[in-house]
Amino acid sequence: MKRLLLLLIPALISFQGFAAEFAVGDLVIKHPWARPTPPVADAGAAYFIVDNSRGADDRLLSAEADISQRVELHTHLMEGDVMMMRKVDTIEMPAGQTVALQPGGLHIMFIGLQAPLVEGDRFPLTLNFEKAGAVIVEVAIGQQPNAQ
């Protein structure tokens, strides 16, 4: 029993250190984050960077989370003079490139939030890539990381 406890301690420490990078196949997903939402907000968004510098062409097919009724892939487009959000079917991850999901651009959209997104909280987000497969990343609710 004592031996088991000793083995568990390093795992707990590394969990508290919180890895802001998540790897799946040749992809590295960096700094998933979401803005806190006001108490009455119905929608929220998450952002991260995907480094595909080592891999072949891939694409993000969908995302899943249990914080909202729907999870969609979105981008921003200019329509006339107005910036509009639009649902997209997939997000391309070209070989040798780094793709940033960031405010004003590509993002993961949560529609029908079950509860407000609270600063300091985290939630799991499943990303389904066509080639690399599925990966669960931990989204940190707070301000945009400096690395972006």
Report the interface residues with Cu ion, using CB under 5 A.
74, 85, 109
Please report how close the Cβ of residue 107 comes to Cu ion at its closest, in angstroms. 6
Three-class secondary structure of residue 58 per DSSP = strand
**Measured distance CA(69)–CA(92) in Å, rounded:** 24
Of 11, 46, 12, 15, which Cα lies nearest the Cα of 31? 46
Specify the residue, 28 or 100, whose C-beta has the smaller distance to Cu ion. 100
Distance CA 57, CA 132 (A): 10
In the bound complex, what is the minimum distance in angstroms from residue 120's beta carbon to Cu ion? 23
Q: Which residue has the tokens 């250190």?
A: 17
Shorter beta-carbon distance to Cu ion: residue 88 or 135: 88
Residue 30 or 74: the one with the smaller Cβ distance to Cu ion is 74
Residue nearest to Cu ion (CB): 74
Closest contact distance (angstroms) between CB of 23 and Cu ion is: 26
